[in-house]
Amino acid sequence: MEYDHILILGPTFPHEVVGFSGGLKYLFPGISGPDMINATHWLGALAGVVGTIGIKDTPVRAMIHAAAARLKTAVTLIALTVEGEGLGGLFIGDPLSAWSEAADLSAQRHIRWVESPFQKILSAAPAMYDELWTAAKAMYKLEPAVALGGEVVIYAPHLSTVSHVHGGYIYEVGYHTLPYFLNDWERFRHIPLGVLAHSTHLRGSGVVENGVEKPNVRVTLASRISAEDCARLNLGYLDPARIDADEWKDREQDGILYVPRAGEILYRQG
């Protein structure tokens, strides 16, 4: 607030909370504190990942732009659309128009449309995701392309930590669908909203019928997190040493997909 001009430099990708990342999100909730983080992430959870990720105009994006309208400091955005180690696009200007163009290009480059949903997906989380908190991208970037009752296996043999910061809360509540929390709100209202949002992002969509939670997708974790901890977290478990990625490759016609570097590309049926 004490500077003459703010310069934001960063990439834009499909995002589970705001639709597409980047732009003024670097300020709100980027540097605006936990209250804003909790509010935006819970609003995104209420909207649902499948109805948010890869969509340009979302409730959270509107909230971020409304917050930024109160900022009197001049802002210039350098928005990047990146592909692997390469640069796909560079947009410089006011933060609304530059981000808008970057999001449009991201929609072309970072969304892979599939004709039919998959029954099983081996989603390999790269080593840069060193906590399940971030490796959850290996689930929600794939959920829109999974058949009802299908399975996503998060393959992360390097991963041993749920979250250094939020692990205590996550182990307390586990991973559940949004209706699970809303139907028993008094029990969970003391949990930070950002943690509850993360829980629903990883567990995916679903319903509660006659008191029984019925997720749309089975989520299995193949990592250094033990079978006992996976059960406590309400996740399936696979021993990563028993997974041969080659057995999953080139089997799209069988309803099986292997994603070697999950977390950037969004898969959607359409």
| pLDDT tens digits, 80-104 | 999 988 999 999 999 999 999 999 9
d(CA 15, CA 6): 23
Using 50, 70 and 90 to split pLDDT, how confident is the model at 266? very high
Please report the pLDDT score of residue 55 as a whole number: 97
pLDDT digits (tens, 9 = 90+) for 19-28: 999 999 999 9
User: Which domain range does residue 35 map to?
Assistant: 5-109
pTM attached to this predicted model? 0.95
Q: Are residues 39 and 124 in the same domain?
A: no
Residue whose C-alpha is closest to residue 20's, from 90, 92, 80: 80
Question: What CATH number did the domain enclosing 62 receive?
Answer: 3.40.50.11440
- Average per-residue pLDDT in the chain? 97
- Domain total for the chain? 2
Question: What CATH number did the domain enclosing 137 receive?
Answer: 3.90.226.30
Average pLDDT score over residue span 190-199: 98
Three-state secondary structure along 61-101?
HHHHHHHHCCCCCEEEEEEEEEECCEEEEEEEECHHHHHHH
d(CA 208, CA 50): 18
Q: Are residues 76 and 207 in the same domain?
A: no
Q: Are residues 260 and 245 in the same domain?
A: yes
Segment holding 186, helix H or strand E: helix 185-188
* pLDDT surpasses 80 at 114: yes
Region of poorest pLDDT, from 29-33, 120-124, 177-181, 205-209: 29-33
pLDDT digits (tens, 9 = 90+) for 64-83: 999 999 999 999 999 999 99
Average pLDDT score over residue span 230-252: 98
* pLDDT surpasses 80 at 1: no
Q: Are residues 159 and 248 in the same domain?
A: yes
Average pLDDT score over residue span 106-123: 98
Q: Are residues 151 and 260 in the same domain?
A: yes
Please report the pLDDT score of residue 92 as a whole number: 98
Q: Are residues 154 and 79 in the same domain?
A: no
Show which of 109, 142, 175 is a domain's final residue: 109
C-alpha distance across the termini of the chain, in Å: 44
Using 50, 70 and 90 to split pLDDT, how confident is the model at 2? confident
